[in-house]
Structure formats: structure tokens, C-alpha cells
Amino acid sequence: MQHSSLYTIVFAGIVCVVCAILVSSSVVSLSTLQQTNAALDKRKNVLLAAGLVQPSEKLTPAELNDRFRVIEPVVIEMATGMIVPEIDPSSFNQRKSVNDPKTSQVAPPNSSRISRLPNHTVVYQVFNDSRELQMIILPIEGYGLWSTLYGFLALGADTKTIRGLTYYQHGETPGLGGEVDNPSWKARWPGRVAFDDNGQVVIEVIKGRAGSPQESPYQVDGLAGATITSRGVTNMLQFWLGKNGYRPYLEKLREKQPPS
């Protein structure tokens, strides 16, 4: 059957409109699902850094959220370390904030290639049933060899002892720098010490093997064949634990500690 040119054009137009509606609907519905999955993935990585979830565990969203109940996200002001209760941590978008000149500032020169610092950030505090601080989990990021690595560093209540380190996003070479995801390498971090007795950041990833946390409290094994990524991990930890990172917040916590 032969149709007129007008019929063909109208029919093609209707098909295009229907397809556009279907695609738009899919994008909207999937966007909500993607945001939910991203939030769950972030929670899982916070729990991994804290040692409250094991890498081999397969948890449902309900189980994951139940484990997260002991964790209290709060927004802090980077410059002062003060908690800002007026900002809801569940809706705060740090990546958006850091890209807005109104809510961020130019970072000082640094080896992690961090160009801007947010005025505020979300940190995660872990309490026991008596509301005693047990742990803090800090977002960290910095450049490795090929990419920016995004992760979490967990510190004990003393704000010095490392409880865990995990990365949830990077583009490093699989089998080399990508070994920052290797559970056996991440298992070497708990028990290491980030600061010396003078309060200086001394934790570093060395070339070769370090001893146990008791033998080498300030050092961690390097990643084989990934010297630049290893150096990148050292650089970002020293930056974020320093005066331009979380030091004001950590000092506030130390002021609340009872004298030893």
C-alpha cells in the first residue's frame, strides 16, 4: 500500500514523539534509582572504611541501612571545624559545592592537585550506646597516576589511629594502581598511626614492604608497580589531615577528650 508524503511525515513525527516520551520517562525513573543506588554505595563504603562491613558481605539495602544506624553524618565548616546543624547532610552535595565559587575557595598549591576546597563538608561520626565517640570517617580525594581517587579514611576516637581506608571511585590501572581496591592491601591500614607525638602528619605509603603496625606505625606497604599512585595516597592523606583539610575539626575533637 502506498501512502502520501504527508502521511509518512506525520507517521514519522508521531513515532518520534512517542519514542521521546518513552526515553524521557525512562531517564526520570532511572535517575531516582541511580541516586538511591549511589547513596547506598556511599553508605557501604563508609561502613567498609569503619570496618562495620566486610568486603565479602552481601547485604540487602535494608541490612545496609540498619548497619548505618550507628553512624551520624554531620556537616562541618572546614575553616573552623565547627559542626553546622543548619545544613542537612542528607541533601548536601559536596561535589556541586566545590565547583561553585560561592561555596568553595581556591586551594593552596598541593601535591594532590586539588584545585578548590569546599567551605563545608560531610563527616561521619560513630557512637556507642552511651553516646561516646568511637570513630570518625573522613571523605578524602586526590590525584593518583591517571585519575582522582575518591575514598574514606576512618580514625579512632583518639583522632590519630587509623581504623580503615577505602576508595570507591578512581580510574587507576587495574592490577597496578587499581590495587587500592584490593582487600589485602586495605587490611594493612588498621592500627597505623597518622600523627606523631608532635601532631605532625607522618603516615605514608612507602616503596616496598613495611612492618606490622607495631613495627612500622607510620608506614604502609607500597603498591607493587604503582609508585605514583602510592605517592598519591600519601599526598592526599597528608593534605586532608593537615591545616587546609580536617585539622581544625580534629583539634575540636581533641579538646573534648579527657586528659590522659
pLDDT of the residue at 134 = 93
* pLDDT, tens digit, 9 for 90 and up, residues 217-254: 999 998 888 889 999 999 999 999 999 999 999 999 99
pLDDT of the residue at 247 = 96
pLDDT of the residue at 175 = 75
Domain assignment of residue 215, yes or no: yes
Looking at the structure of the chain, the number of domains it has is: 1
Task: Please check whether residue 253 is in contact with residue 125, taking contact to mean a CB–CB distance below 8 angstroms.
Answer: no
Domain assignment of residue 90, yes or no: yes
Domain assignment of residue 218, yes or no: yes
Q: Which domain holds residue 109?
A: 70-256
Q: Tell me how far apart the alpha carbons of residues 21 and 4 are, in angstroms, rounded to a whole number.
A: 26
- Pairing of the two strands 71-77 and 120-127: antiparallel
Domain assignment of residue 195, yes or no: yes
Helix, strand, coil % over all residues of the chain, rounded to 5:
35, 20, 40
The stretches in the chain having pLDDT less than 70 are: 1-8, 10-12, 20, 22-35, 258-260
Domain assignment of residue 24, yes or no: no
Q: Tell me how far apart the alpha carbons of residues 114 and 124 are, in angstroms, rounded to a whole number.
A: 22
SS3 123: strand
Q: What is the pTM of this model?
A: 0.83
